[in-house]
């Protein structure tokens, strides 16, 4: 027994020595400063995961604007100077832009790889996204969202007496419910064969989405979904509803979903459930950030009397110019793209809310050894490493944004009340000053639609409802840091608010 323990002891010591000798990278000449961390394989992952902003700021102070960290066995080069972002993007030919996103999608949603290089599909998914989320396709999508938001916000089934009374609800739950349901209907249409059970089905989808989304950070970190029984069940149920046979029963599918169904059938070797899981990935991408971003825009606006006043005036003017009236009858308010784009105050409120709440990590794989030439110097980068941006560092930089933790509704307005795009770092005008949607070839293809739907939501809230916080002095809830890196952070606690229909 003692001998067996001794042998095991020797094996462990030899492994540790081998790891120390072979597993720790040493910094070569011309490479960025290196943080290996103390834990084998994990490297700095625990400190990074606990608070990325704090961790990156500390390294920035120690090493300057460019440094390398070992995270989960990978070497990630962080570029933290916003003046260098543009130059990094000029080195795009050395990046395998989508490798990280493709791998993460397969891991989290449970389909095989959607990278055409892996041979399971030949669909150029980015081309599909751009074709169906931007340009002409954006008109139809935005129009459908406006109608669905109104269907969800003013369900005509409610008796007028109930609608005339104040309703109290958690603001985050309200935003979650409305944006999830309206977004689901906009992308995946309506099941006209089962209208009576439609609502119950939607509520089940909503619960399943919440359950699955809760463990999303754990799945991205590499934990297997089998560890989370309820969330696993929720994911499979959501995917079930998105099988092609179920989608074919639905009317008014978006161009995005119709085209993805066609291309999945023609170009992939995925089975039915895998195809459904690729649709679930689209559902997640379209809702997971929009929901908290909508909450923050509404919350920050309601909390600031000046923001409320300015936004209400802008909304009333748009409504008047469009010759439209809010009524409780069935006619929907419609706004075209020009009218939506001509609301700089709502735009500024949305940008400022995104600045304060978004914490996305943009990460690209490196295809071959190359030298990165940027403002901060020249750095040798090795094949299979990663290049990363963490724009929250810029969003909260007091030199670029004075008083960075304060919500200023007009931060993105110039002296003429038009959109402001002049922000400076070190006296130099920034090309990139707000990046909640990522950048480069992987920049969010749904960003134009996302801003439209948030604006539509705020527009309808302001024009259809009287709004009040239950506690007018309520503190701003903290951001849920467990999701840092994934996009817009939700609030850690909900905030009660009251709403009542106007014009009854």
Residues annotated within the binding site are 107, 289, 444
Strand pairing partners for 102?
A: none
Q: Are 390 and 334 in contact (CB under 8 A)?
A: no
Q: Are 451 and 172 in contact (CB under 8 A)?
A: no
437 binds ligand HEM (CB under 6 A): yes
142 binds ligand HEM (CB under 6 A): no
Of positions 32, 82, 344, 445, contacts ligand HEM by CB under 6 A? 445
Query: CB atoms < 10 A from the CB of 69, how many?
Result: 26
Q: What angle do CA 452, 455, 459 make, to 5 degrees?
A: 135
- C-beta of 24: minimal distance to ligand HEM in Å? 29
Strand pairing partners for 170?
A: 496
In terms of CB distance, is 82 or 438 closer to ligand HEM? 438
* Residues making up the binding site for heme: 444
Residues 316 and 322: their CA atoms lie apart, in Å, by 10
In terms of CB distance, is 68 or 289 closer to ligand HEM? 289
Of positions 32, 82, 436, 491, contacts ligand HEM by CB under 6 A? 436
- C-beta of 102: minimal distance to ligand HEM in Å? 8
Of positions 89, 263, 450, 479, contacts ligand HEM by CB under 6 A? 450
Stretch that binds ligand HEM, among 47-55, 113-121, 232-240, 355-363 (CB under 6 A): 355-363
Residues 25 and 34: their CA atoms lie apart, in Å, by 9
| Residue 380 parent element (H or E) | strand 377-381
The site string for ligand HEM over 473-502 (x = CB under 6 A, - otherwise) reads: --------------xx--------------
Stretch that binds ligand HEM, among 39-47, 50-58, 125-133, 475-483 (CB under 6 A): 125-133
* Residues making up the binding site for substrate: 107, 289
| Nearest residue relative to ligand HEM (C-beta) | 446
Q: Are 335 and 459 in contact (CB under 8 A)?
A: yes
Among 187, 218, 211, which Cα is nearest to 108's? 218
- DSSP letters for 425-488: ETTEE-S----TT--GGGS-TTHHHHHHHHHHHHHHHHHHEEEEESSTTPPPPPB-GGGTBEEE
Of positions 42, 72, 163, 285, contacts ligand HEM by CB under 6 A? 285
- C-beta of 272: minimal distance to ligand HEM in Å? 21
Among 78, 24, 22, 50, which Cα is nearest to 364's? 78
Number of H helices, E strands in the chain: 21, 17
Residues 178 and 315: their CA atoms lie apart, in Å, by 20
446 binds ligand HEM (CB under 6 A): yes
In terms of CB distance, is 25 or 74 closer to ligand HEM? 74
**Cα 480 from chain centre:** 14
Query: CB atoms < 10 A from the CB of 209, how many?
Result: 23
Residues 360 and 486: their CA atoms lie apart, in Å, by 5
The site string for ligand HEM over 66-105 (x = CB under 6 A, - otherwise) reads: --------------------------------x--x----
Of positions 449, 457, 465, 497, contacts ligand HEM by CB under 6 A? 449
Q: Which of residues 361-390 bind ligand HEM (CB under 6 A)?
A: 362
Binding site for ligand HEM (CB under 6 A): 98, 101, 126, 129, 133, 282, 285-286, 289-290, 293, 358, 360, 362, 436-438, 442-446, 449-450, 487-488
């Amino acid at each position: 027994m003692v001998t067996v323990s001794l042998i095991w002891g020797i094996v462990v010591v030899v492994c540790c020595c081998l790891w120390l000798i072979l597993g720790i990278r040493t910094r070569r000449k011309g490479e960025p400063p290196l943080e290996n961390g103390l834990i084998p394989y994990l490297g700095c992952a625990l400190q990074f995961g606990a608070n990325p902003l704090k961790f990156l700021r500390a390294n920035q102070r120690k090493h300057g604007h460019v440094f390398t960290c070992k995270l989960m066995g990978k070497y990630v080069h962080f570029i933290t100077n916003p003046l260098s972002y543009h130059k990094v993007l000029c080195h795009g030919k050395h990046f395998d832009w989508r490798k990280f996103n493709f791998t993460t999608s397969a891991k989290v949603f449970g389909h095989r790889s959607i990278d055409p290089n892996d041979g399971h599909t030949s669909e150029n998914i980015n081309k599909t996204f751009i074709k169906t989320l931007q340009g002409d396709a954006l008109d139809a999508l935005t129009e459908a969202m406006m109608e669905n938001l109104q269907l969800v916000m003013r369900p005509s089934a409610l008796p007028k007496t109930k609608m005339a009374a104040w309703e109290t609800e958690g603001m985050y739950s309200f935003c979650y419910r409305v944006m999830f349901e309206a977004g689901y209907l906009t992308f995946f249409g309506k099941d006209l064969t089962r209208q009576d059970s439609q609502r119950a089905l939607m509520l089940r989808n909503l619960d399943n989405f919440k359950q699955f989304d809760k463990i999303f950070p754990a799945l991205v970190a590499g934990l297997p979904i089998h560890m989370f029984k309820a969330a696993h069940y929720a994911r499979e149920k959501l995917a079930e509803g998105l099988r092609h046979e179920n989608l074919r029963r639905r009317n008014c599918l978006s161009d995005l979903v119709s085209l993805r169904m066609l291309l999945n059938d023609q170009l992939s070797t995925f089975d039915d459930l895998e195809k459904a899981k690729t649709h679930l990935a689209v559902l997640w991408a379209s809702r997971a950030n929009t929901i908290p971003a909508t909450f923050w825009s509404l919350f920050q606006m309601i909390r600031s009397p000046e923001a409320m006043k300015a936004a209400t005036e802008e909304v009333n003017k748009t409504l008047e110019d469009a010759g439209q009236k809010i009524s409780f009858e069935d006619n929907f308010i419609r706004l075209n793209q020009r009218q939506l784009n001509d609301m700089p105050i709502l735009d500024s409120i949305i940008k400022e809310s995104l600045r304060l709440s978004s914490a996305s990590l943009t990460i690209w794989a490196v295809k071959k050894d190359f030298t990165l030439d940027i403002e901060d110097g020249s750095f040798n980068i090795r094949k299979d490493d990663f290049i990363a941006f963490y724009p929250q560092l810029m969003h909260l930089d007091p030199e670029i944004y004075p008083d960075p933790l304060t919500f200023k509704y007009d931060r993105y307005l110039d002296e003429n009340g038009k959109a402001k795009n002049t922000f400076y770092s070190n006296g130099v005008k920034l090309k990139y000053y707000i990046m909640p949607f990522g950048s480069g070839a992987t920049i969010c293809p749904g960003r134009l639609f996302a801003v439209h739907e948030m604006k539509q939501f705020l527009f309808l809230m302001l024009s259809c409802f009287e709004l009040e916080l239950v506690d007018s002095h309520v503190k701003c809830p903290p951001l849920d840091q467990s999701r840092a890196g994934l996009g817009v952070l939700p609030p850690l606690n909900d905030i009660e608010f009251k709403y009542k229909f106007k014009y009854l």
